[in-house]
Amino acid sequence: MLSEYDVVACRRCRAPIWWAVTAAKHRQAVNAVPVDAEPDPAGRLALYRDDTGRLRVRTLTKERAELEHAEVRGMAHAATCGRPTAPVAVAEPEPEAAASAGRLVPDYIVDIPIRWHR
Ligand SMILES: [Zn+2]
């Protein structure tokens, strides 16, 4: 079951997000929705809590396209996060950026604590 207590705000666009963990142990930002709201039907992620309460995520694939067990549909935040209106020219990546290039989560998605707005 999803929870509203671990919702954080994307530092870039302020949208509420959850952090979930993929099978490969990567962190992935997922658009948070109130627990009683309908999930985004366009979402291609399946969310569930594992035995330790950690929010896990998998991508709905052609082979496993349906939600299973207690999974809830979710939308990757990177798919909807506000983007720059003008192209950003990047000459050379910073060493830190290069080191994180393989990460699933863009650097601009940073979690900060928020309270859910009702
Ligand atoms: Zn965002």
The predicted structure's pLDDT at residue 75? 94
Q: Greater confidence, 103 or 6?
A: 6
Q: Which helix (H) or strand (E) holds 95?
A: helix 95-99
Per-residue confidence (pLDDT) for residue 36, from 0 to 100? 79
Residue 22: pLDDT above 50?
A: yes
Q: What's the mean per-residue pLDDT of the chain?
A: 79
Return residues with CB closer than 5 A to ligand 1 (ion): 10, 12-13, 15, 81
**Cα 64 to ligand 1 centroid, rounded to whole Å:** 28
Spacing, Cα 80 to ligand 1 middle (Å): 7
Q: Report CA(68)–ligand 1 centroid distance (Å).
A: 28
DSSP string over 2-40: --STT-EEETTT--EEEEEE-TTS-EEEEE---TTSPPP
Residue 36 or residue 99, greater confidence: 36
Give the mean model confidence (pLDDT) for residues 91-109: 55
Q: 3-state DSSP call for residue 98? A: helix
Ligand 1 centroid–CA 109 distance in Å is: 6
45-49, 67-71, 83-87, 96-100: segment of lowest average pLDDT: 83-87
Annotated domain spans of the chain: 8-77+93-113
